[in-house]
Amino acid sequence: MLFKKMANLLKKLLCIVIFTLYNSQAYPNTLNFEQWLKDFKVLARSEGISEKTINKTLVSVKFIPKVIEYDRYQPEFYEDTKTYITKRANKFKIKEGLSLYQSQKNLINIIEKNFNIEKELLLALMGIETNFGKYLGKMDIISSLATLSFDKRRSVFFTNELLILLKLIDKKIVDPKILYGSWAGAFGNFQFMPSTIKNYALDYNKNLTIELKSIDDSFASAANYIKKVGWNNKEPCFYKVELNENIPNKYLNTSAQKIMNKKKLSFFKKYLKNFKHDDINENLIVGIITPDKDIVKNSKKLKPAYIVFNNYEVILKWNRSLRFALAVCTLKDEFKNEI
């Protein structure tokens, strides 16, 4: 049974890869988007998506040049860490989050208890993703995903996301009439991608519809997601540190794709200046990140630097950005000081 599932998964992935490889050569410019769309419909049918859904959802799909601009110019690609965090974990954000918490206190506390996920973390994620539901995005999600599928940079990923979304529509899990969100195809208070909706979204209020713009479904879905990918309330996320000059370069991570060369905290202590967190278990496996190195012009090699724990890597599963994860955990700690 497991072998059959793996075989089907590999077959599906192969179809998507072949589709995207062919299209990367066949459609070198936006003039060929219409031909790409015809070929995508063939792929969608081969994935079992109904003709009704294909016709209903793709009839007005279009290439959006602005989506490509946003993809190439994300804050994670150019803002230094201090600027990025300050913009997203400030007094205004804390005030807005506390206001939302006070208005939804009973519900949020129940969700915290049911899922064993800190309310402060949920507030931080929502605050940074959509400013507590104020900036949900106005892009046509289907067209955004189609544009990014057509584009070469991450075509396999976005082709798969678009197929998943059409399947969710086919099963009436998602209403296509409300699919407006971010340029990258994310939706709702916590900006779930289609694969995240499929794997983690919940109909928490049991009204037979998953409503990710509502507080109850969106908070419960976010708590379910972050719990299942491994968040541990009893462990830290990160600590900012000062590094000794003799630390080998191989321990300095600058990519969010995977934290490399992790060791026990006790191992790294010889490379840290004035590390005063003696209450932390020295056997915990940690890594070191220097998020400005190799990205920000004229940045210092060893500053800023952070010791990161497993919880930090859990946030990276949510969003593969070193700065995003730092901002989320910073804002979470700010809320802990206020609630």
- What's the pLDDT score for residue 29? 59
- What's the pLDDT score for residue 339? 87
Q: Which helix (H) or strand (E) is 72 found in, with range?
A: helix 65-72
Total-model pTM = 0.88
d(CA 145, CA 155): 9
Decide: 308 and 291 in contact? Cβ < 8 Å: no
232 pLDDT above the threshold of 50: yes
- What's the pLDDT score for residue 12? 54
Average pLDDT over residues 283-309: 90
pLDDT class of 99 with cuts at 50, 70, 90: very high
- DSSP 3-state helix, strand, coil percentages of the chain (rounded to 5)? 55, 10, 35
